[in-house]
Structure formats: structure tokens, C-alpha cells
A = this chain, B = another copy of it.
Amino acid sequence: MKEGPDISQIGALIGDPARANMLTALMGGQALTASELAGAAGITLPTASSHLSKLEAGGLVTQRKQGRHRYFTLADNEVGLLLENIMGFAAGRGHLRTRPGPKDPALRKARVCYNHLAGDFGVRMLDRLITDGDVTLDGEEAALTPSGEARIAALGIDITALKAQRRPVCRTCLDWSERRSHLAGSLGEALLARFIADGWARREKDSRAVRFTAEGERRFTAAFG
């Protein structure tokens, strides 16, 4: 008995309804903030924070600080597989869990993340820059290559002005709706500003959604599709 704190620890972590709800919310693969997870679990922030620290100590989730947010994700693929396994088992004996309502598709497509572009468009843009060799990644850090600088300059963005600032030009930011990174930093901000200034897109009121015009979407796809 003494030697086996094993399977019961994992069980206990999953066994609390609030924690189970948070883990289920994270099963989507999205990184969620503590507040969002608190909402998903129907508990207050302090309670959620306590739960999250336990889940982290148990190795089920990891957090990534991003500004004043803390994005939580499942620790790795294995956790997802384990949860999926348990969910399948539970579905066989217990009740089926009704899926939470679908999110606003517009938010998933394109939205602001602080000041830069996020969502499917944001992720696609960074993907393209990387595969074209215009941006190199080093962990969470990113850097613009000479060819990348030329490409950005062609869009009408003053790179030297950005580099003169103390802020990092290139950064990656974990995307909320996709599971992958998009471009942040002063360059990310400048790009979004450019899109809006050029009439490719506009921000929606009281929402983080960014709505591209038909023409804007065409141009964006031509540039980064």
C-alpha cells in the first residue's frame, strides 16, 4: 500500500468535476486562459487557479505565460489520449456528454489577439512565412530573414522603424482557436494595422472578430495563401 500512490493520484485529479470539466475543455486542443477555464467549469477564478496548479503539479497540464494571460494546455499528446480513453470508457457505462455549443466561426477565422492577427488567417500567415523561409523559429522566438524583410517592406511596412523600437519585432503567440502559433510582436501588430489601413479588413464592434472584405480576403490569400 505504501509504495503505490500511483493510479489513484491520476484518478483523483480527474475525479473532481471541476477539474474534469477543465480537462474536457482543453481536449479541444486549444490553449485556454485560467478565466476561460473557470467559466467552463462554472467556478470562480481562485478555485480554478487552485485546481490548475494541482493539474500542473500532476503533470496533466502546462501553462505558458503570454503577457498578462496564462494559457493552459494539456501537457502532451499522451494526456489527450488518456482522457479520450477514459471518455470512451465512461460513455460506454455512464451518460453521454453533450458537446458544448459551437463557437462563433467568425472568431475562429480571424480575430485580434491583443493587437495582432489571430485565428485561421493568423496561423496561415505565419505558416507561409516560415515555409517560404522568411521567418525562422527558435523555440518561442522568431526572427525575420533578409528575404522576409524584403517581403514585408513590399507590403509598405517600415521595417527599420520597427527594429528601432525596444519591443521585439517577431514573436510567436499560441493561437486560441487553432492549436498552433501565429505571428505577434511589433511586426504582427504592424501587419494587422496595415490590413485594416488598406481596407482589407475591419474590426467588429464589441468583439475580437476581424472581418475581411471579399477583396481583402482575395489579396490576403494572394499574399499568404
Contact = CB atoms under 8 A, between A and B. Distances in A.
Given A13-B15, A85-B82, A7 B90 contact: yes
Pairs of residues from A and B, 4 with the lowest C-beta to C-beta distance, nearest first: A11-B14, A12-B15, A11-B15, A8-B20
A92 interface: yes
Contacts of A105: none
A3 B79 CA distance: 23
Contacts of A58: 93
B10 A14 contact: yes
Contact of A4 (B15, B79, B82, B97): B97
A67 interface: no
A8 B16 CA distance: 6
A89 B93 contact: no
Given A11-B11, A15-B12, A21-B1, A6 B82 contact: no
A64 to B, nearest CB: 19
Contacts of A137: none
A11 B93 contact: no
A26 to B, nearest CB: 12
A166 interface: no
B78 A6 contact: no
Contacts of A21: 1, 4, 8
Given A4-B24, A42-B1, A9 B94 contact: yes
A15 B9 CA distance: 6
Given A15-B11, A85-B85, A86-B82, A91 B1 contact: no
B17 A15 contact: no
A95 interface: yes
A6 B97 contact: yes
A171 interface: no
